[in-house]
Structure formats: structure tokens, C-alpha cells
Amino acid sequence: MAVTRRFLDWRQPALPAAAEYLISTYAMLETVDLSGVVVVVPGRRAGRRLLELLVESADRKMLRLTPPTIETAGCLPELLYEPKLKFASDLINKFAWTAALRELNDASIRSIIPDPPKSHDISRWLSFGELLWKQHRELAAEGFDFQDVATRGPEVDAFDEAERWEVLRTVQEACLQKLDAVELWDLQSARLFAIKHQECRTDKDIVLVGTSDLNTATCEMLEQVSDRVTALVHAPPKLAKRFDDYGCIVPDAWSNVTIDLDSEKIAVAEGPVDQAEAVVATLAGYQGRYRMDEVTIGMTDERLVPEINRHLAAEGVASRWVVGQQLNESRPYRLLAAVAEFLETKSFDSFASLIRHSDLDAWLFRQPVEVVEDEIPADAFEPDSDIAMPATVHQSTEWLRQLDDYFNRHLPSVPGDWIFTEAKRAEVNRIQHVHQCISSLLETLSEKKRPLSEWVQPLNSLLLTVYGDVEFDLEATDDSCTLAACTKIHDLLLTHSDIPPSLIPTVESAQAIRLLLKELTNESVPPPPNDEAVELLGWLELPLDDSPALVVTMFNEGYVPSSLNSDAFLPNELRRHLGLLDNRRRYARDAYAMSVLAASRSDLQLIVGRRDMRGDPLRPSRLLFAAQPTEIAQRILTCFGDVDAAEAMQPTSSAESNDGNGFTVPRPVPLQSPIERIGVTSFRTYLACPYRFYLRHALYLKDVDDSASELDALMFGNLMHEVLNRFGHSRAAASLDVNDIRSELNAQLLATVNDMFGKERVAAVDVQVMQIQARLSAFAEWQANWAAEGWRIQYSEASFRDKGVKLELDDGRTVELDGRIDRIDRLGSSNQYVIFDYKSSENVRPPRAAHQKKDEWVDLQLPLYRHLVKGLGLKGDIKLGYIVLPKDTKEVKSLMADWTDEELKDADAKAIEVATKILDEQFWPPADVNPMFFQEFAAICQDNVFDREVIA
């Protein structure tokens, strides 16, 4: 007996029509008893909505309703037969396929996987096992196994993979045998067994709603109970030939259909932001005709969801993406991912990433870990120094900044080899104990390989430790997602305990975590109900949505219809030959869906994008051109012509009434305490840009991160300066022997590197140290020759902080000068001196060129050194210059300044002028500077922003 087909008028939505059909068919007196009915729908959302409509309809008609069983098409088969064994879980299936695959010899494996994973790469092996399992599921759903492909594949031109599929058949058989051995049944195989042995039975009526694309196996099972099956087809009866006996589409019948679509409902938008603005404009155009819960936004590309949500929120419109928040975006997921990375690499980078996790940060805050004085190296401090002992490890987020500062100073490759300095001992002490805290937390995860099931308890304990004391607000979306993720992780870990020993792999803790996270990838937490929100739905859910107004975004080729033009195992032509889901069937499915939407919606708006998220050009959907020739021509002009459709749909936003452009540079505010000291090097900053001087030297803003992978220019120079400073205080500083000087420099370089960066430093530092060594070797020759002329180092790294060196201003005020002079040399016992500044950059300009541009002073460092040395009591002939140590070691030399006394007086006047402005707090306006000058302030200064505030 054939399946009964009933056609529902598609001028109204399918679910209300289906609800009315069920009510009218099963109503008797004052009751509607649907307890003997199984209603089959494509997805759970459609099922929930159908139940709501049934209740509403029964209430309207004052009927007492007994609801039906509502099931999805994917779960229907298990209602039609009695399984003889327990089904293998998805995870067990993946491990069974992986185990069967790994048992093949190398040649057989390479026939399937040209580049097989290493034996220890469990995650990649599991990925291939999962891929084969998915191929098995898809083929079995259409009634095939791997042997069928090997047999029927040669019927397709250019098919040359029969041998490969024979190997795959071997893997398939081995996998099913492994499941049999542990008394588990493969779901797809069980269904095929039930079909083959005519085991399908039911004592209930089965009503199919919106199931226009059932797989072959499900149809064959329904065939065995066809006398109890009714298919509700959402289409007019005149289109009956476009559907098969089960109400499913006939692909060929939909390949050339004309879709009755109003061309005025097609809009073009340039990019994702323009599409979001077009959505808002469409909603504004409804002018209150619909409540927000009567409007649906179709998302063919879910990457647009954040942009749509943001624009709707800006207009005060609530939105609800039905998929909800992906668990791979949840805090527990990110925590476990960070833990796995740290366990695998033990690197400082992974340590820094881990402790930045907000939940771990909160856990650290709750830990009253006291500092153990004995654990600090005995020689780290002076014997009589007092160590500030923090009561707890956590000091708000200050220690995170200190961690970045520590990394940038020492560039460690791994945590643990802590470098203590007098100035930073408290900070390092704090960071050290944060590391100890983390090490203790992860102690049970640091053991060798174990069977996967033995990692269940340690991982559960980790989550319980971090989240066990946390109070969650279930009304808050993020908290709700966090709790759901913890629950899901716990449930998945329990499934690891159920894996049969014969299939379970032995893995390290990081591998166990990565396997767990892989299972979470496609899981999500649905958002809470919100009757006042606009719902965002995926394309496949739209045909069964019953809202009167619909806006579909990204109506472009590749999204609608979707297509798959390459497949590792089943190319499109082979799919078509076997009757699997191919591009022709995808087009037919989407052409039918589009026809339903066009017929059943009061308001339908299609938005075609011209560019995707990356800015790449897009083509409009082919479905737009399934029309009469005159309509096709008009739509081509709309989609490809010079149309300002996106501009025409710009929303009237509350933001438009704001006169500000949003790109205003924040003006300086009066300082709480006056500036009393100015560094001689910071005069250059003020001369370049007063505002950036304010940010750096008045507000002390500084960009700190841990992205360094090697010594930057500043650290490179600082390392060289420190070596030269130590050399300047050594015995060899007065030597005339180049080998003696070179030996001392090498010794000081090694000692300085170990002091500054320790032994566990990033590898790039050692390469750069060799570069410094080459420069110092060349410097040794210069130094020997310089010393031979009678010059001796009088001062090395002379600091003038708090030396009371004053610069007197014209108005009677004074300001203290601060600075550090790299080196002061004296010729014998004469009164001839040279003030040197070391320069290690690649292209060092002579002092005049570095300090002046077209006779205007742009830097005052060397001239101001003349004032600093007054604090040393130096008098006589004082020269100024550079010792340059560039990459080209042949260019290591001194560069002397040649300013006249008049020019130096002019420099003094410029210094007084600048200092006066600084004390008067004249920090405005910002200047246009080189993009690399204080780049960290680019965002504050709105550099390269076209619509930046015009500065008068």
C-alpha cells in the first residue's frame, strides 16, 4: 500500500497548515487524541513550534488535546524496529574506525591517506577515523556500503579508485567486527539489517511534515509501514509530479523551475556591514506593521550573525540567534585549550596565555598562597635586604602587567628559571608563586601516557577546582554558557569511561584534552526564549518558519544553493551516479525552499552581497535567475549594474543625530602635580609632538605586551650598553691590547646575557648575542686605538637623577634635568673631555644631522649633556660625539659633533623654550609624525583615520 500524500496550500506557512490538518483529522467530539500519532519534522525547533500551534488551535476551538509524539527525521527509524544490541556512541564509532584503519599495513594506509600521521599523533589519526565513519554513515543512509562503491564506481567515467575502495571495504568490515566483539551495534548497519529482514513495524500513524529530503534508508523503512504513513506536502496539488511517493522532492523536476519572486524584493549591499544596515532599514520600513517576534532574519552565512546583532542592538532591537553560543567559544573550552597548550609546550608564551584566562585569574585571586622565603635563591639579593612578602599571589591585574614586563626584560623560553634583580624582586617573587600555583593545579595532568579513560578524574577535578566555588547567574548569557559547557564536558568525560578497553587509546593529558575539545566543537547552548526578539535562523529552517515577514541575508551563490565541488572520497559525479546528496539535489532542495518562501510570506526581502567577509567578490544566487527572460534581464541590472541599492536602504539611526563623528582625540587635562624633572632625551619627543610627550612623560602611558620573539631595537641596544658599561669599569678599559679588550668584552657579554636573560631564553637571543659579539670585536680594535692616543674612560653610565642639575628658565623658574651619559673620556690628565653616546642602530647619522633638520633643532640630547656634567665639576674643553656600532662592523667608529658656540647657545635657548612650554602644560595639538614614532599611541591619536577631528 502506498504512502498517503496530502498537499497543503503553500500560500500559508506549513506548520499552521499541518496543525490544522492534525486537529481536523483527529478531532472527535470535544477531544483531539493524537497519542497514537508520530509527527516527523526536519528539526527540533519545527517540532516545538508545531506543538505550540497545536495547543493554540485546540484552545481556540475549545478542544481537549492529547499531543502526539513529535520526532525528527533522523530519529524516526529507531521507532520502527527493535534494536538487538546497544548502539555504539559516536565516540566509540570514531575509535573503532581509527583502530581498524591503523591495523592496515603501510601500503594499504597510503592508498587511503597519502601522508599518514605519525604513530603518536592520536588526534590526527582520530580525524581520519572520523572521516571514514562519516563516509560510512552517508553511504549507509542511502543503502550502500563501501563494497557497493567499489563495484559501481567503475560505471562512472574516469573512476580509477576501485582498489582504494576495496581497502576501505576491509577497514569497514574490521570496524564492524570490532563493534561486534564488544557487543555494540553500528546504528546505520542496524537500520540496514532491519530493512533487509523486513523488521519495521508500528502501531501508530506517522505524519511527515516538511520532510522533503529523506534519505533512502528512511524511505525504505517507511515503505514497510506505508499503510500508516501520511506525507503532508507543502505545495499545490498541481505540482504533485515534482514529489515522490514519500513527499520528497524529485531533483530533476526542480532543476528548471521558474520561481515566482517579486523583483522589487531584491536588494544589493556591498559588504557585510552594508547587509546589516540593509536589514535594519528593512525593519524600519515595516513601520510597526509587525511585532519583532513576527519578523525572521535568514542567515545563509552564520559569520554575519555578530554584525547583524550589533546593528540591531544599536537600534534598540533585541535579536536571538537560535543556534546560540558555540561551546568552543565558552570559557571552559578556552581554559582547557590553554591548559593543553601549556602541558604540551611548557613555554613561557603558553604559561602567559593560560594565566590570562579570566576564570583562572579569578581562581588565583581565591588562593591565599604565601611566599616561601627559602625558595628564593640565596644569592638573589643583598644579605641585608628586606623582601616584601605579599599575603596573596594575586594583586588585581597588576601582576599581569608585571609578567609582560618580566618577559620583555628577560625573554625567557620557559617559566621557572627566574631572574631576580634588586629593583624587581617583589614582582618576580609574585610571578614565581603564580607559576607554583599553576604547577600545583596541573600536577595530576603532568604524568606520562595513560589510557584515555584514566584522564577522566583528573580533568573533572581540574574543572571542579576552578569552577566549584563560582556562583553563576543563569540570567546572564555568558554564565549560562559557562555552566552548560562545564556540564557538557562532564557528560563527555563520562562517555570516555564507557569506551571498551580494546578500543581505548593511550594518550598524554594534552592529547586527552584535545580529543575532548574536538567533541565540543559543534556543540552549542541555545539562547533563552525572548518573545520580543527578532529571530535569526539558518537557511534550512526557513521553510518551516511561520513568521509573516522574512529578511534573507547573503543570498549569494555558494550559500544558496550550496555546492560541493571537491570531496576526498565521493566526487560530485560519483555522488550523482549513486543517488547521494550532490549539487543537483542541493539546487533542487533550495529551489523548492525558495518557492515556498516566495509563496507563503507576506513580506520577503532578499539581500544580495557583493563582497564577503574577506572582501572577495560574490555572485548572486542562481535562484534569482530562475525567472522569465524579462525578469532575468532586470535582475542582472540590479545585481551587477551601478545600483545604489544599499545606500537607498540606509536606516534612520539614532546615531545619525549625533553631531560628533566618533573620532575625537582626547584633549589633555590639567596635571594633578606639576612636572619637576625632564629627561634630556624626552626633549626630542616634545619637539616632535607635544601631545605624545604628554601621553608618555606626563601620563606615563606605555604599551606592554608579551609578543616579542627576539630582542627589539631597544633591548638590543640596552644589552650592548650594559656590556659596555661593565667594560668601562673593568681593568681592561685602560688596556692598549686589542685581545685583552676583546676577551673582557666577551666575558662581560656572556655574564650580562646570563644575568639579564638567564639560561632558559628564547633561541633568537643567542643568535642576536652572536651579532653583538661581532660588533664588540670591531669595537675592541677601535677602543685599543683610541686608548693608544691617551684617552681613558673617566665615567661609564653616569646617572644624573637627583643630582640637582637645574635648567634656569627666562621667567625665573627652574626645572631639574635628568639623564644618563653613556661614557665620558678624558685625555690623560688634561682638561680635554669627550662626552660619548653609544649608538647601535643600523644607520647612524652624524650628531648634527640627528639633532637638526634644516637648522631647526629636533633633538637636544648632546647639547644638554653639557649641563649635566656640571654636576661632576668638569671644566675645560668638552666635546660631544657618538660611538657607533652598526651591523657593518667596518663602520664602527666615533662621530664627533661640530657645533659652534653660537649654535650651542641656540640649542640652550630652544631647551629653555621647550621646558617653559612643558611647565605651562602646553601639550596640544598633536602633530603629524612618522607612523613609527610612538606607534603605540596611534589609536589614541587616531593616526591614519580619515575623519579624525580637524586640529586647528
Looking at the structure, tell me whether residues 367 and 433 fall in a common domain. Answer: yes
- pLDDT band for position 609 (50/70/90)? very high
Q: Which amino acid is at 255?
A: S
**Residue 273 burial (CB < 10 Å; 0-12/13-18/19+)?**
middle
pLDDT at residue 645 in the model:
41
Q: Given 485, 504, 525, which residue is the final one in a domain? A: 525
Same domain, yes or no, for 597 and 725? no
User: Is 949 within a domain?
Assistant: no
CA distance 746 to 906: 42
Assess whether 319 and 336 both reside in one domain: no
Confidence class for position 946, pLDDT limits 50, 70, 90: low
Give CA–CA dist 421/319, Å, rounded.
54
Do 333 and 320 belong together in one domain?
Answer: no
Determine whether 253 is exposed, middle or buried from the number of CB atoms within 10 Å of its CB (0-12, 13-18, 19+).
middle
User: How many other CB atoms are there within 10 angstroms of residue 928's CB atom?
Assistant: 10
SS3 readout for 162-176: HHHHHHHHHHHHHHH
pLDDT at 371: 44
Residues 900 and 772 in one domain: yes
Residues 362, 434 within the same domain: yes
- Does residue 394 surpass a pLDDT of 80? no
Question: Could you check whether the bond before residue 77 is cis, i.e. omega within 30 degrees of 0?
Answer: no
pTM (predicted TM-score): 0.78
- DSSP class of residue 73 equals T
Per-residue pLDDT for 144 more than 60? yes
Q: Angle, to 10 degrees, between the axis of helix 738-757 and the axis of helix 398-410?
A: 160
Tell me if 192 is assigned to some domain. Answer: yes
Considering the chain, what is the average pLDDT of its residues? 89
Tell whether 227 and 180 lie within a shared domain. Answer: no
Give the model's confidence band at 227: pLDDT under 50 very low, under 70 low, under 90 confident, else very high: very high
Grid cell of 554 as nine digits? 547573503
pLDDT in tens, 781-827: 999 999 999 999 999 999 998 888 999 999 999 999 999 999 999 99
Choose the weakest-confidence range: 248-262, 398-412, 650-664. 650-664
> Do 451 and 551 fall into the same domain?
no
* Number of domains the chain is built from: 5
Q: Is residue 432 domain-shared with residue 502, that is, in the same domain?
A: yes
Cis peptide before 561 (omega within 30 of 0): yes
- pLDDT confidence of residue 384: 34
Q: Residue 847: give the domain boundaries.
A: 677-937
> Is the residue at 665 inside a domain?
no
Domain of residue 503, CATH code: 1.10.486
> pLDDT digits over 277-335, tens only?
999 999 999 999 999 999 999 999 999 999 999 999 999 999 999 988 889 999 999 99
If you search the block for the grid coordinates 609624525, which residue do you land on?
Answer: 929
Range 154-165 average pLDDT: 89
Last residue of a domain, one of 506, 525, 544: 525
pLDDT at 470 exceeding the cut of 60: yes
pLDDT by residue (tens digit) across 639-673? 887 645 444 444 444 334 344 445 678 899 999 99
Neighbours of 614 (CB within 10 A): 7
Longest pairwise C-alpha distance within the chain: 123
276 pLDDT higher than 80: yes
796 vs 726, 769, 792, 793, CA distance in Å? 8, 22, 11, 7
Q: What 8-state DSSP symbol labels residue 453?
A: G
CA angle 805, 806, 807 (to 5 degrees): 135
Q: Are residues 781 and 874 in the same domain?
A: yes
DSSP line for 709-723: SS--HHHHHHHHHHH
Kindly state whether residues 192 and 206 are assigned to the same domain: no
**At what angle are helices 509-520 and 122-141 packed, to 10 degrees?**
30
Residue found by looking up cell 513576527 in the block: 294
Which grid coordinates belong to 86?
546497544
What grid cell was written down for 181? 566483539
Element (H, E) at 781: helix 763-788
In this structure, the answer to whether residues 459 and 377 fall within a common structural domain is: yes
C-alpha cell at 704: 606592554
Q: For 886-922, how does the pLDDT look when each residue is reduced to its tens digit (9 = 90+)?
A: 999 999 999 999 999 999 999 999 999 999 999 999 9
- Output the domain CATH number for residue 733: 3.90.320.10
d(CA 233, CA 225) in angstroms, rounded, equals: 19
Do the Cβ atoms of 601 and 549 come closer than 8 Å? yes
Where is mean pLDDT largest: 323-327, 708-712, 720-724, 843-847?
A: 720-724
Q: What are phi and psi of 40, to 5 degrees?
A: -110, 125
User: Does the residue 795 lie in any domain?
Assistant: yes
